[in-house]
A and B are shown apart, each in its own frame.
Chain A
Amino acid sequence: MPTTTPTSTLNPKAVLTYAYYPGCVAQGACRELYLSTQALTQALGIELVELKKAACCGSGTFKETSQLLEDTVNARNISLAEELNLPLLTHCSTCQGVLGHVDERLKEAQTQQPEYFAEVNDALQAQGCSPYRGTTEVKHLLWALVGDYGLERLAERVTQKLSGLKCAAFYGCYLLRAQKTLPFDDPVHPASLERIFETVGATPIDYSGRTQCCGWPISSYAPEQSFKIAGGRIGEAITAGADCIVTPCPLCHLNLDSRQPEVEKVVGHKLGLPILHLPQLVGLALGLKPEALGLERHIVSTLPVLQKLGIA
C-alpha cells in the first residue's frame, strides 16, 4: 500500500458533511449511482445535504453558447453550497469538471476581472439569489474518499475484501483535465481510483485508455465515432485482463454500459464487460447488498463480478 498520502486538513474524527449535488443522470438513467452514493455515504457516516434547488451544470455545452451562461448557472449552484457553509460534493466527473472549473474561474475573476465577476453576481442578485462568494470548494466523491475520509480509515471499514477482482479505472476527461489544478491526483498519471481498488482488496489493471475519452459527448449526433471510441476503451480493458471497468462518471457509464450493445455492433464483436460506478464497488467492500447499490440496474449484467466475489 502507498505510504505517502496527500493529507487532509480536516479533523479525522469530525463528521464529514457535504452539500450534495446529484446531477441529472444520477436522478434519471443512472439512478443506481444515486442509490449507491446514498448507501455508501450512509455506511461511512458521511452526511449529505442534497441541493434540491440546484440545476444541470450544462455538461460543458453551456459555455459553447455563452461563457456567462455557464458561469452564472453554476455560480448559482455553488452559492447554494456556500449558503450552507459546506463543500459541494459531486459524483460525476463531468459535473466536477464543469463546476470545479467555474469555481476556479470565478475565484480568479474576483481579483483579476472584477467587472466580469460583478456581471455574474448582478445576474444572480437580479433574481433574488445570494451572490457567489468563492468561499467553498467543489469536490468529487472520489477525492472526498481519498482526501477527506482517508484510505486508511476506509480500509478499516472494509468487511468484504474484493480479492481477485481485476478492476480497470476509467476516470473521465472532465475529472482530469477541465480544472487547472487537481488537489489529489495527477492529470496524466492519476492513481486515486487504483488506490481505492487496492484499499478494498481489488487488483488495479493498467491500460492507457483509463485517462481517455469514452465518446459520450458526441453520442447523440455522431454515434458511429462515439461508439468506436467506447469500443476501443472497453476492448483495451478486456485485453488487459479486466473483470470490470469502474468509473466515477455516470456519463462515461452511459456510453460504456447502456450503449454497449450498439458499441458491440460498431466494433463487430461481443464485449460484455460490466461497468461499475465507483460507490458501487466501494459499497460491495463494505458488505452492502448488491440491490442496495442498484447493481441489477445495468445493461451489461454485473453478475459475473458478483460471482467472482462469491456474493451471487
Chain B
Amino acid sequence: MQVCFQIQRQSSGSAPQLEQFLIEVDPRITILECLNHIKWEQDGSLAFRKNCRNTICGSCAIRINGRADLACKQTLQNELDLMAHAQRLTGTTATEKSLSECPKIEISPLQNFPVIKDLVVEMKSFWENLEQVDPFVSTASRAITDRESLQTPAARAKLNQVGNCILCGACYSECNAKAVSSDFVGPHALAKAYRVLADSRTEDAQERLQKMSADLSGVWGCTRCFNCNSACPMDVAPLDQITRIKTMALANPVNPELRAVRHREVMIDLVAESGWIDERQFGLRVLGNHFRDVKGLMGLIPLGLRMLWRRKFPFTFHPSEGTPVFQSLIRALRRQK
C-alpha cells in the first residue's frame, strides 16, 4: 500500500522542517522498516537510531503521530488501526478519505531532548538524571562472598513490571514536569529508583527514600499528567511507581513540614472534617501552615484580593451532608494503617 510519511527533519541548531516521503510498502512491516525503506530507497541522509529491531534495546524511540513510541514495536497496520479507531471515536471524517487513499504518518524526534540530527537526540541529561538515583542495588549487597544473594520468587516478582524498562526515553519525552524543570530527575529515573527501593537486597532503602522525597527533584516534582504511563512501550507505568514511592514517603515522612506532604495530609483532614474541601482552609493550612509559614501566607494575599475583586472569593462553605460517614470511614482506614 502507499503511505505518506511526514518527517520532521533538522540539523543541530537549525529550525525543524517537515519533509514528505511517499512509500509503497506492505502494511505488516514496522514503522522502523518504513524508515529504513525511506533511508535506503529515497534519502540516505535521513538520521535515526536503531539497533535490535525487537523492542529490547530502546534505541528507536521516536514520536509517531504525536506520541512517543518504539518504531520497531509498531507495525504500519497497528498505526493505521489506531488512526481509524481515533477517527471512529471522535467522529472526525475529514481525513477518512485520505486515510483510505494514502494515510499520513507524522514522525518527529522525542521531546525534552536537544536534536542532533533529524530523529537522533542528545540523551546526556537523560543518563545523568538516571545516575542521580544511583540505579543499582547497593555495592555491599553485591559483594558476594561464599553464596549467592538469594531472593525469593515472590520478592523478585515485585520487580518484574518496573524491571521491564529498556530506557528508551519515551516517558522522558512526554513528561510535562521535565519540560519546565531541569532539576526534576524524570519518570525513567524515578521508576528505576522504585525498582531499587523495592528490591529485597537493597540495604539503604531509607536513605534512598529520603533522597527521592526530599524536594522537587524527586517524586514531588511530578505533575501526575499520566503521559509517562501512556507513552511507555513496555508497560512500566512510571507514574504508578512514582505513586508507590510517594506512599512509602507519606507513611513515614522524613520532613512532615514539606508543603507537598502537608498538601496530602490537609486534603484528607478536610474531607474527614467536612466532606468537601473548604479551599480557604486548604490555602491557610497548606500554604500558611497554620500561620507559621509567613511567606506562604503573604503569597495568598494577592490571590485572595483578586478573587474578592472579581466576586470569585468563596465567602460561604457548605459541608457535605454525608460528612459523618466520611469522617468515620477515614478514621477507620487511618486506624487500619
A interface residues with partner B (beta carbon < 8 Å): 2-6, 24-25, 27-32, 52-56, 58-69, 72-73, 76, 80, 123-124, 126-129, 173-174, 176-178, 182, 184-192, 195, 208, 212-213, 215, 217-218, 220-223, 225-226, 228-229, 232, 258-259, 261-262, 296-299
Other A-B pairs, 6, CB within 8 Å; known A28-B314, A186-B90: A55-B323, A64-B243, A69-B268, A186-B85, A258-B303, A262-B303
- A64 near B268 with CB under 8 A, answer no
Also in contact, A62 and B329, with CB within 8 A (given A52-B320, A218-B221): no
- Cβ of B141 under 8 Å from chain A: no
- Across the interface, name the chain A residue whose C-beta is closest to B247: A64
| Bound CA span A276–B124, Å | 41
Q: Enumerate chain A residues within 8 angstroms of B276, measured Cβ to Cβ.
A: 24, 27-28, 55-56
- A220 near B86 with CB under 8 A, answer no
| Bound CA span A68–B268, Å | 13
- Across the interface, name the chain B residue whose C-beta is closest to A26: B276
Q: Enumerate chain B residues within 8 angstroms of A192, measured Cβ to Cβ.
A: 90
| Bound CA span A259–B310, Å | 13
- B223 near A258 with CB under 8 A, answer no
Also in contact, A218 and B318, with CB within 8 A (given A64-B243, A208-B66, A225-B180): no
The 8 Å CB contact of A66, one of B92, B280, B310, B333, is B333
Q: Which 10 A-B pairs have the closest CB atoms?
A: A53-B322, A191-B90, A177-B226, A186-B86, A221-B259, A213-B176, A213-B225, A55-B275, A24-B277, A2-B91
- A218 near B275 with CB under 8 A, answer no
- B337 near A66 with CB under 8 A, answer yes
- A220 near B223 with CB under 8 A, answer no
- Cβ of B216 under 8 Å from chain A: yes
- B89 near A182 with CB under 8 A, answer yes
Which residues of B (93-140) have their CB < 8 Å from a CB of A? 93-94
Interface SS of A by simple majority: loop
- Cβ of B147 under 8 Å from chain A: no
- B275 near A56 with CB under 8 A, answer yes
Which residues of B (44-86) have their CB < 8 Å from a CB of A? 65-67, 85-86
| Bound CA span A65–B260, Å | 12
Also in contact, A229 and B180, with CB within 8 A (given A73-B326, A191-B90, A296-B311): yes
- A69 near B260 with CB under 8 A, answer no
- A188 near B250 with CB under 8 A, answer no
- Which of B67, B243, B267, B302 is packed against the most chain A CB atoms within 10 Å? B267
The 8 Å CB contact of A4, one of B88, B181, B264, B303, is B88
- A65 near B247 with CB under 8 A, answer yes
Q: Enumerate chain A residues within 8 angstroms of B307, measured Cβ to Cβ.
A: 29, 258, 299
With both chains docked as a complex, state the minimum distance between the C-beta of A284 and any C-beta of chain B, in angstroms. Answer: 19
- The count of residues in chain B whose C-beta lies closer than 8 Å to any C-beta of chain A is 75
With both chains docked as a complex, state the minimum distance between the C-beta of A129 and any C-beta of chain B, in angstroms. Answer: 6
- Across the interface, name the chain B residue whose C-beta is closest to A23: B276
Q: Enumerate chain B residues within 8 angstroms of A186, measured Cβ to Cβ.
A: 85-86, 89-90
With both chains docked as a complex, state the minimum distance between the C-beta of B56 and any C-beta of chain A, in angstroms. Answer: 25
- B230 near A217 with CB under 8 A, answer no
The 8 Å CB contact of B333, one of A52, A123, A173, is A123
Which residues of B (280-337) have their CB < 8 Å from a CB of A? 280, 286-287, 299, 302-303, 306-307, 310-314, 317-318, 320-323, 325-326, 328-330, 332-333, 336-337
The 8 Å CB contact of A28, one of B65, B94, B317, is B317
The 8 Å CB contact of B176, one of A2, A178, A212, is A212
With both chains docked as a complex, state the minimum distance between the C-beta of B289 and any C-beta of chain A, in angstroms. Answer: 11
- B267 near A58 with CB under 8 A, answer yes
Q: Enumerate chain B residues within 8 angstroms of A187, measured Cβ to Cβ.
A: 230
- A76 near B325 with CB under 8 A, answer yes
- A220 near B287 with CB under 8 A, answer yes
With both chains docked as a complex, state the minimum distance between the C-beta of B300 and any C-beta of chain A, in angstroms. Answer: 10
- A297 near B310 with CB under 8 A, answer yes
- Cβ of B229 under 8 Å from chain A: yes
The 8 Å CB contact of B91, one of A6, A31, A61, A262, is A6
With both chains docked as a complex, state the minimum distance between the C-beta of B265 and any C-beta of chain A, in angstroms. Answer: 8
22 contacts between A and B (CB under 8 A): A2-B90, A6-B91, A28-B279, A53-B275, A53-B321, A55-B271, A55-B322, A58-B268, A61-B264, A62-B267, A63-B243, A76-B325, A173-B223, A186-B89, A188-B67, A188-B86, A192-B90, A195-B92, A218-B216, A225-B221, A258-B306, A299-B312
Also in contact, A173 and B226, with CB within 8 A (given A191-B91, A225-B177): yes
Q: Enumerate chain A residues within 8 angstroms of B91, measured Cβ to Cβ.
A: 2-6, 191, 195
Also in contact, A222 and B220, with CB within 8 A (given A56-B270, A186-B90, A232-B180): yes
With both chains docked as a complex, state the minimum distance between the C-beta of A57 and any C-beta of chain B, in angstroms. Answer: 9
- Cβ of B263 under 8 Å from chain A: yes
| Bound CA span A2–B306, Å | 41
- Cβ of B157 under 8 Å from chain A: no
Q: Enumerate chain B residues within 8 angstroms of A72, measured Cβ to Cβ.
A: 329, 333
- B263 near A25 with CB under 8 A, answer no
| Bound CA span A29–B177, Å | 25
- B223 near A189 with CB under 8 A, answer no
- Cβ of B33 under 8 Å from chain A: no
- Cβ of B201 under 8 Å from chain A: no
Q: Enumerate chain A residues within 8 angstroms of B323, measured Cβ to Cβ.
A: 55
